[in-house]
């Protein structure tokens, strides 16, 4: 008996939509089910709305700087309802593009939850069942919410985009990139912002020197950052949400946002029952071609917990189609993937941290922290950081870390050179563009330390 579809995709995020669309363009019969909104984490509750909020929050500092530069500017309060209406209008537009592109390619969309029944069968929430030669799981991740007394009073990072009004006082719980980004966003929008993190320093897993630099910068921006601190319990009181911290401090907030990481969205999908092997945290175990322990079932994106970035999910989705539908086995190269943390200012990096590199080989560290021209002119104390990690033997650049306005834009260009195997001497031989902050990347001539 023939299958209903050549491919059935569960999940309408960036990875699933890319795979479904490209597969349909090959002539494959494709079905795709999404239980919430097309676009997934990135478009609906992640990269896109977050970056637009980053833009909005940056204008408060920009207005202060403009006054110092001679502009007569009277900055009023931030109008969250007005911004939110425009934000969700943009998300609606982008979701429509995702739907249109899928439909134009010939894929059939089901706006409901789908689960596995066996290696070739999916069941929709309305009870309909379909068979498919191949099934792709692309359900992404969801916020992890620790269990604490009163925890039901807290928002997840998803909820920030849906709030009816801007809180006057907010607590961000967590120390990863999502927590640090939201702390900077709310602070920039005029919210009195505190951040609690149970670890010793924010941005665990990133370069230690850069972590310390970011922590200092966000505190100087007015965020009350407390490390080694977690929430013990919360209570709803007349004047807000009362929070008792593990270090004994007590404070009251209008909103508490948990940004304590994300976990693979695999619960209740029927994966184990279908024989799909899962990892300790619920992630789907896949090989280099995104194939699971069940040959007909594949998985891409955050649900596999490899590198949880939208461009990586898109690459994995495209490689899956190339492998399965075009007969060209294709692996995704997960090495040297650049990333950015949209704090204010931004932190962008590619490659190894100093700590990772020094454990493997002899290295040289080139690092410079300085006030850029735009800031020093108005006596803003904020310093940018440029850092290169160089193999002392091969001279290749092992890692690059930038903390500055526009760092994400810079790292994209640097990533090309590092991916090609550029050496420190290649950087040295490149003529600087002056006057820019980025010229520092080719002007650091003497290592600050070796290891």
Which of 324, 357, 374 corresponds to the end of one domain? Answer: 324
Question: In this structure, are 247 and 387 located in the same domain?
Answer: no
- Boundaries of domain holding 85: 5-142+263-324
Residue with token string 């207005």? 63
Classify residue 282: in a domain, yes or no: yes
Q: Is residue 330 part of a domain?
A: no
- CATH number of the domain bearing residue 390: 3.30.390.30
Confidence (pLDDT) at 1: 65
The number of folded domains in the chain is 3
Name the pTM for this structure: 0.96
Considering the domain architecture, whether residues 135 and 180 belong to the same structural domain is answered as no
Q: How far apart are the first and last CA of the chain?
A: 64
Residues 94 and 217 in one domain: no
* Residue at 331 is within a domain: no
pLDDT at 191: 98
In DSSP notation, 129-168 reads EEEEEEEEE---EEE-----TTGGGPEEGGGGGG-SS--S
- Strands 384-391 and 397-404 turn out to be antiparallel
Output the CA torsion sign for 260, 384, 208, 421. positive
> Do both 288 and 318 map to the same domain?
yes
Residue 374 lies in a domain: yes
Catalytic residues: 434
Pairing label, strands 449-450, 363-370 = antiparallel
Indicate the residue among 236, 260, 284 that finishes a domain. Answer: 260
* 228 & 172 share domain: yes
Identify whether residues 59 and 104 lie together within a single domain. Answer: yes
pLDDT value for 105: 97
CB 166 within 8 A of CB 188: no
| 345 prior amide bond cis, ω within 30 | yes
User: Are both 191 and 233 inside the same structural domain?
Assistant: yes
Q: Is 373 inside a domain boundary?
A: yes
Out of 244, 260, 276, pick the residue that ends a domain.
Answer: 260
Same domain, 156 and 250: yes
Regarding whether 131 and 27 lie in a shared domain, the answer is yes
- Backbone CA torsion sign across 270, 272, 277, 282: positive
Digits of tens for pLDDT over the chain (451 positions)?
A: 699 999 999 999 999 999 999 999 999 999 999 999 999 999 999 999 999 999 999 999 999 999 999 999 988 899 999 999 999 999 999 999 999 999 999 999 999 999 999 999 999 999 999 999 999 999 999 999 999 999 999 999 999 999 999 999 999 999 999 999 999 999 999 999 999 999 999 999 999 999 999 999 999 999 999 999 999 999 999 999 999 999 999 999 999 999 999 999 999 999 999 999 999 999 999 999 999 999 999 999 999 999 999 999 999 999 999 999 999 999 999 999 999 999 999 999 999 999 999 999 999 999 999 999 999 999 999 999 999 999 999 999 999 999 999 999 999 999 999 999 999 999 999 999 999 999 999 999 999 999 9
402 and 435 in a single domain? The answer is yes
SS3 content of the chain, % helix, strand, coil (to 5): 35, 25, 40
Domain CATH number, residue 217: 3.50.50.60
**In degrees to the nearest 10, what's the CA dihedral of 283, 284, 289, 293?**
150
Residues 157 and 299 in one domain: no
On whether residue 227 sits in a domain, the answer given is: yes
Please check whether residue 335 lies inside any domain of the structure. Answer: no
Q: So what's the pLDDT on residue 75?
A: 86
**Same-domain pairing of 138 and 267:** yes
Instruction: Give the model confidence (pLDDT) of 177-225 as tens digits.
Output: 999 999 999 999 999 999 999 999 999 999 999 999 999 999 999 999 9
Question: Does a structural domain hold residue 80?
Answer: yes
């Amino acid at each position: 008996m023939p299958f209903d579809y050549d491919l059935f995709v569960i999940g309408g995020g960036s990875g699933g939509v890319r795979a479904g669309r490209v597969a349909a363009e090959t002539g494959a019969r494709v079905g795709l089910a999404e239980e919430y909104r097309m676009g997934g984490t990135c478009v609906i509750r992640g990269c896109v709305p977050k970056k637009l909020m980053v833009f909005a929050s940056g204008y408060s500092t920009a207005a202060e700087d403009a006054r110092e530069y001679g502009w007569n500017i009277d900055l009023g309060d931030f109008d969250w309802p007005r911004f939110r209406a425009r934000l969700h209008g943009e998300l609606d537009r982008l979701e429509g593009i995702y739907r249109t592109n899928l439909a134009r390619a010939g894929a059939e969309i089901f706006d409901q939850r789908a689960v596995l029944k066996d290696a070739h069968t999916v069941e929709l929430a309305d009870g309909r069942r379909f068979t498919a030669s191949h099934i792709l799981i692309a359900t992404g991740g969801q916020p992890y919410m620790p269990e604490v007394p009163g925890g039901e009073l807290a928002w997840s990072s998803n909820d920030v985009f849906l709030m009816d009004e801007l809180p006057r006082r907010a607590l961000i719980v967590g120390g990863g990139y999502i927590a640090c980004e939201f702390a900077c966003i709310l602070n920039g929008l005029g919210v009195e912002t505190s951040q609690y993190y149970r670890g010793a320093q924010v941005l665990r897993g990133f370069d230690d020197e850069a972590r310390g630099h970011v922590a200092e910068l966000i505190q100087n921006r007015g965020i009350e950052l407390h490390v080694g601190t977690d929430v013990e319990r919360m209570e709803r009181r007349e004047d807000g949400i009362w929070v008792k911290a593990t270090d004994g401090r007590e404070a009251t907030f209008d909103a508490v946002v948990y940004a304590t990481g994300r976990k693979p969205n695999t619960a209740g999908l029927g994966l184990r029952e279908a024989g799909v092997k899962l990892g300790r945290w619920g992630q789907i175990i896949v090989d280099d071609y995104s194939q699971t322990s069940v040959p007909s079932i594949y998985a891409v994106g955050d649900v596999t917990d490899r590198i949880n970035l939208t461009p990586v999910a898109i690459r994995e989705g495209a490689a899956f189609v190339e492998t399965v539908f075009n007969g060209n086995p294709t692996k995704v190269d997960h090495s040297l993937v650049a990333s950015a943390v949209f704090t204010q200012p931004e932190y962008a990096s590619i490659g190894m941290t100093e700590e990772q590199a020094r454990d493997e080989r002899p290295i040289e560290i080139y690092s410079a922290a300085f006030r850029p021209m735009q800031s020093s002119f108005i006596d803003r104390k904020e310093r940018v950081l440029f850092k290169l990690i160089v193999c002392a033997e091969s001279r290749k650049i092992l890692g690059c870390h930038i903390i500055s306005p526009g760092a994400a834009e810079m790292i994209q260009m640097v990533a090309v050179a590092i991916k090609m195997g550029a050496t420190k001497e290649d950087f040295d031989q490149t003529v600087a563009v002056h006057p820019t902050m980025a010229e520092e990347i080719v002007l650091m001539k003497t290592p600050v330390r070796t290891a």
